[in-house]
């Protein structure tokens, strides 16, 4: 299962979806998340108090996360979360070390009880 992570530090899930200029892509199999890619994106948030939907930026992020089952982020707005779900990517709010957050997300999404030990 591929999972994207919004992380400024590279070690923790510690970045707001709209502030991310990169997403780390992990594959979770054999009980051990493994970083397989890093994709750069244009920041979604425009700091506009009305929070308009920025379709061009959003679509580019969805394209960059193609193949990911979920995106882990420290925070995500209601509208981008809803649109991510429509695009087939589950937005999950998490915190803490990336590996632990990925295993928890895998267990939440997988449903087969494998605890990340196989590629789901």
Instruction: Say whether pLDDT at 119 is over 70.
Output: no
Average pLDDT, the chain: 89
pLDDT band at 116 (very low <50, low <70, confident <90, very high): low
User: Which helix (H) or strand (E) segment is 92 a member of?
Assistant: strand 90-93
pLDDT band at 56 (very low <50, low <70, confident <90, very high): confident
Predicted local distance difference test score (pLDDT) of residue 6:
98
Predicted local distance difference test score (pLDDT) of residue 107:
87
For residues 91 and 116, the model is more confident at 91
pLDDT per residue as tens digits for the range 74-111: 999 898 999 999 999 999 999 999 999 999 999 888 86
pLDDT per residue as tens digits for the range 34-51: 999 999 999 988 767 666
Q: How far is CA 109 from CA 19, 21, 22, 43, 59, in A?
A: 25, 25, 23, 26, 23
* Phi and psi angles of residue 118, each rounded to the nearest 5 degrees, phi first: -140, 165
Please state the pTM of the whole predicted model: 0.88
């Amino acid at each position: 299962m591929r999972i994207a992570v919004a992380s400024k530090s590279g070690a923790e899930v510690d970045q707001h979806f709209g502030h991310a200029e990169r997403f780390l892509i992990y594959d979770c199999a054999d009980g051990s998340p493994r970083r397989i890619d890093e994709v750069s994106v244009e920041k979604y948030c425009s700091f506009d108090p009305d929070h308009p939907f920025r379709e061009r930026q959003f679509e580019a992020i969805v394209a960059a996360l193609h193949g990911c089952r979920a995106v882990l982020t420290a925070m995500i707005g209601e509208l981008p979360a809803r649109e991510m779900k429509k695009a087939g990517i589950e937005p999950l709010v998490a915190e803490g070390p990336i590996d632990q957050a990925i295993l928890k997300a895998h267990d939440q999404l997988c449903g087969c009880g494998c605890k990340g030990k196989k590629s789901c």
